[in-house]
Amino acid sequence: MLANLKTPAQRHTAIFYGLIMVGFYFVPVFSDNFYLLSVFTTAYFYIIFATSWDVFAGYSHLMNFGHALFIGIAGYLTAFVDLHLGLPPLLVLPMCAVVCGLLGMFIGYLTLRMQGPYFAIITMAFAAVAYESAIMFSEYTGGEEGIPGIHPLTDSLIGDYYFVLVVMSLIFLFLLWFTRGRWGLVLKAISQNEDAVLASGINTAWVKIRAYSISGALCGIGGSVYAYSLTHVGPTSMEQVLSTTILIMAMVGGMGTITGPFLGALILVLFNELSRDMEEYRLLIYTVMVVVIIFFAPRGIVSWGQPIARAFKLGGKRGQAGS
């Protein structure tokens, strides 16, 4: 990957995200405040959700409005396996990845022919079906209450913090590697002109299905860790608000960049937590801010990287910020 960092701008971007990641590892060194660590852990979860959303939806511009489906499915699976079979997390995580990956492949296959708005509606519908089912089949799922009592990942707060952080780091690095290579290029090309990609001899349907599958698998890992971390899973883990939040974070950060959803999730979670003093105005400010950012910067806040870098005389003339 380092070999790909040709321009100074790309090097500066890499240093920028590298420093943030290293900073995350040092947070517990400076503070073991329960609240602070849990805020950061929440941010890591949303980074996993938003970046895994991005690898399919952000690159292909097929708006996935039901990404939380994978979080919920993985969460319930984790609860069943943990409580009934007692398997360790290191076995459960790959299991969730496989199940959600296959689920993504299946949904991808069903929705192959659908364009923009149709795709948005069907993804919403699948998540809603799962949500209603979780409430309806309450003997297995605990209904609205969900399933409590999942065993924690580690026996300490700091242990959990590092577990989540390591999983997030690995997923983030994998996604960067995956999208900076040929798959990212082909997915981007498909979003701009699918016919020309077909005419280049590439099976676009398969490329999209594969990306959706990866998106689901990685989100499934995140959803499983999420359930362990809360020691609980419930229907709220796949409700529409969560899916929409993920997508808004990715859009605010900058779709189709992986780094954008990373920043979008981090900034919005931190803002949401730090603005608790504003009490009832908090969510109003949050939502209005989101509308304003999407309106003025539809390419997300990573599109500001280049002008900012130039203002500080960093970076070269060309080379996209965040890529």
Partner 1 sequence: MELIQEIIIFGTIKGCVYALIATGFTLIFAVAGILNLAHGTFYMLGAYFTYTLFYVLGIPLPPAILLAAVLVGALGMLLDRVFLKPMRSSHTYVLVLTVAVAFAAQEIILLTYGSQGMNIPNLIEGSVNLNGVVVSWHQLLIVAITAVVLIMLWLVLTRTRYGVATLAVSMDEDGARLVGIETEKVFNLSMFASAFLAAVAGALISPIMSMTPEMWNMPLMKAFVVVVVGGIGSLTGSIMAAFFLGWLETFTGFVISPKLTEVVSLVLLTVFLVFRPSGILGRRLH
Partner 2 sequence: MTQARDYLVVDELTKHFGGLAAVEKLSFSLDRGQILGLIGPNGAGKTTVFNLITGFLPATSGRVTFRGESLMGKKPHQIVNQGLARTFQLVKPFPELSLSDNIRVACYGPRFMSQGLDEEAARHRILEVAEQVGLPDDLDQPASSLGHGDLRLLDIARALMVQPELLLLDEPLSGLSSIETQAIVGLIQALNQEGITLLIIEHKLKELMKVADRIVAIDFGQKLAAGTPQEVVNHPAVVEAYLGTKDSYASA
Contacts with partner 2, residue ranges (CB under 8 A): 182, 185-186, 188-189, 192-193, 195-204, 318
Q: Does 188 bind partner 1 (CB under 8 A)?
A: no
Report the C-alpha gap between 254 and 238 in whole angstroms. Answer: 23
* Number of Cβ within a 10 Å radius of residue 128: 17
Identify the residue whose tokens are 């950012």. Answer: 293
Q: Is 298 in the site for partner 1 (CB under 8 A)?
A: yes
**Closest distance of CB 194 from partner 2, Å:** 10
With tokens 């941010």, the residue in question is 43
Out of partner 1, partner 2, none, what residue 186 binds, judged by CB under 5 to 8 A for its kind, is partner 2
- Picked from partner 1, partner 2, none, the partner binding residue 294 (CB below 5 to 8 A depending on kind) is partner 1
* Integer Cα distance of 47 and 232 in angstroms: 20
The H or E element that residue 233 is part of is strand 232-233
Q: Which residue type does 146 have?
A: G
CB closer to partner 2, 208 vs 232: 208
If the CB atoms of residues 123 and 323 are measured against partner 1, the closer one turns out to be 123
Specify which residues 232 forms β-bridges with.
148
**Where in 88-127 is the site for partner 1 (CB under 8 A)?**
110-111, 113-118, 120-122, 124-126
CA 238 to each of CA 41, 83, 135, 235, 245: distance values in angstroms, whole numbers, following the listed order:
19, 20, 11, 6, 11
User: Which one, 6 or 151, has the nearer CB to partner 2?
Assistant: 6
Does 5 sit near partner 1 (CB under 8 A)? no
Bridge partners of residue 147, in order along the sequence: 233
Find the shortest distance in angstroms from Cβ 63 to partner 1: 5
Q: What is the DSSP string of 138-199?
A: HHHH-TTT-EE-PPPSSSSHHHHHHHHHHHHHHHHHHHHHHHHSHHHHHHHHHHH-HHHHHT
- In three-state secondary structure terms, 321 is coil
Residue 121 binding partner per list partner 1, partner 2, none, with a CB distance cut-off of 5 to 8 Å that depends on partner kind: partner 1
Write the interaction track for partner 1 spanning residues 48-87; mark x where CB under 8 A is met and - where it is not: -------------x-x-x----------------------
Q: How far is the CB of 65 from partner 2 (least distance, A)?
A: 24
Contact residues toward partner 1 (CB under 8 A) are 61, 63, 65, 110-111, 113-118, 120-122, 124-126, 128-129, 132, 136, 240, 244, 247-248, 251, 255, 280-281, 283-284, 286-288, 290-291, 294-295, 298
